[in-house]
Structure 1
Amino acid sequence: MARQYFGTDGIRGRVGEGAITPDFMLRLGYAAGKVLGQMAGGKRSGRRSILIGKDTRVSGYMFEAALEAGLINAGVDVGLLGPMPTPAIAYLTRTFHAQAGIVISASHNPYQDNGIKFFSAEGSKLPDHVEHEIEAALDLPMTTSADLGKAWRIDDAAARYIEFCKASTPWGFSLEGLKIVLDCANGATYHIAPKVFRELGAEVTAIGVSPDGLNINLECGSTKPQLLQQAVLEQGADLGIAFDGDGDRVLFVDKRGELIDGDQLLFMIAMHRQQFLGGCNGVVGTLMSNYGFELALRERQIPFERAKVGDRYVLEKMHANGWSLGGESSGHIICADATTTGDGIVSALQVLRAVCDFDEPLHELKARMKMLPQHMINVRLAHRDGVLDHADVKAAVSEAEAQLADSGRVLLRPSGTEPLIRVMVEGRDSAQVEQLAQQISTVVERVGNS
């Protein structure tokens, strides 16, 4: 059966539209129970089990109940975790030896959206062939199992995950003396992150910790960091940390209120590993990673490769290269030697290890990497077929690359959802970068609309 529902990051959409309905979730729970329940391993007292966690958006209650009913009807036991960060579900799935973990979340999207993400028994994303099997099973008639599953609530899930996060740092690691502002986006980290950083000794001011089901990611969190930037300055804090709604992304703010993105954070972690932890064997970024990041790693002889945009592709290349560090400029950072997926809290702690071990303020540490100007233009076209291979477009790109020499790059990337080609140019001179991007865009527009 052709893939209809699953994208690179699970199933996601507006609640009540398309696949995101209670009826679909009921059928999805049944299909997942039938497919995943047959997989080896994952026993609880001799029974098959799957865990369900969610973020704080109001529709999560409805979808949790629907998935639970479908899974139980398929004869699978269900462990209910309640509101928990996405990486916590990955960790707890491994801890409880469950067949799979299910996350009900739309990540950084507004509360009107929701979605589903699956983790395997190993805490990684499900292979494509398993998702295909689940989609095929959606067409099965729902029959009541002769051996219905049961549900149980895991009351200590939060405490388990807090200890896991703290254990990602060395014994005796302390944040004493650091004044930190946390923005939890009124999302899944609201009851987790403040405890982690306080228990490690930091003085913590927490914002975005009053979820009401409707305010997740609302003018707060990693997608809207202005509130955090203001709070850091008002509090006179050493730094600020922003998570997204499901806790798998993180961005920082330095004491000056300046935002620090995922590329800069990855560089700090890589630099720390090289100097203090015996070396960094390589880092995976994406096509959109800043060229300054690549140059800074090159200067330190740390290998760097780019993957397609999306944490799935980053992780695939990390595994292929045997590297333990990768991520995206959005702040989705994967430290594979600490956990199996992107984890905002764990990644933040790795950055703070660098701050503590280098004994430098965050704004000084980030200055070791110079971000290059980047300019992007979205070119809307009548058609995209053959545009990127057209001789005029190739000539425009080659001319721009010649002008940039080895101090910049050009990237043309089709949108996955719209009739657009994104033209991106990076280089040391912002005026030149903007001019070259405009020149290429003009050619692309002419070719694509002719």
Structure 2
Amino acid sequence: MEQKNGGFSETGLRRMRDVLSRHVESGKIPGLVALVSRNGETHVEAIGTMRHDGGSPMRRDTIFRMASTSKMVGAAPVMVLLDECKLHLDDAVDTWLPELANRQVLKRPDGPLDETVPARRPITVRDLLTSTFGLGVDITLMGSPIQNAIFENGLFDTPGQALPEPDEWIRRLGTLPLCYQPGERWQYHVSNEVLGVLVSRVTGQTFETFLRERILDPLGMKDTGFHVPAGKIDRLPPAYIPDPQTGTFIAWDEAEGGRYTEPPAFQAGGGGLLSTVDDYHAFLQMLLNQGMHGTERILSRPAVQLMTTNRLTPEQQSFREDLAKNNVHLSHGQGQHGGWGFGMAVRTYRGDYASIGQFGWDGGTGTSAYADPDKQLTGVLLTQVGMSTSDSAHLIHDFWTMVYQAIED
């Protein structure tokens, strides 16, 4: 078999492209851009078109809505503040976020919003970084008063509903009780948005300004941000949500005149970034390099190790594993990792082709970005098809299956 210097086989890469092409040729994925990198060798595939009805081809520099794949990048500025001793993991956040002081907690997670008990302790920075501060999007509680309140108060970034500016967002969050005691349970997403408000309050800068100065610019992530400038808007495809019954492509956001043409009121580190495969590769490679980018240190080695290894207690992890396994039919197989670091999943058991210790996350818009310390591997797959059907999830799963088969040492 022909060997490539970076540890990918030519045959394996060809088979990966064939499988990715098959998804596009099925008509269910208009286009995709994929990047794999190992030992200094990077391989990119751009397949298909920007729109479902043809038009401009996908390119290496196509810009995508990253959705929850934003979370890992959004957590990095907090690590900068920890490195500089401007925050500490077990600091109560009340000092900077008085809206979240003196919390009340529901007596029952699915109970009435006015049946509460006092929180046993304040919310800490650690609680926010690990998604265990007591409130989040929870698939097991959909339709409950607290989950309804999260959506009704505009606290969750959804198609057709932009988030209010940060002070108003955190004020609204502060009107709700917690679902669980701080540190008790892993719950998804909301904590990542709180982190952006925290960074802004601690630094006196907007979240995006600090993120850009300390993470994006030093890494050369020139196409990453919370909106797309006019000069780059032709590189942004529409965002599709296929109809779950018919598979018909429904565009929830167009590029021209869409929601990402102007800076948003709320800079959402939990799901609001736009980026490219090369920009995310730079971020993941920095993490694989223990915080280094070339000769410049972006994060300390301990900060990276904290981010990229499991930070959940056995009790928190048990709940997260049960949540993933019992809802695998709803998640199209996504989320089966076991652990959670800061802003990303961490594989704590061998459940598929990926190594234990692999870290990263996926996005509901059809995005995926992971690094694997054991294999010294990074991979990014970006599409414009949301996970309202299983199509983009299956594409992501197949991408990783083929990436790991392409490794030859």
TM-score (norm 2): 0.26
Greater length-normalized contact order (CA 8 Å, ≥ 6 residues apart):
2
Larger radius of gyration: 1
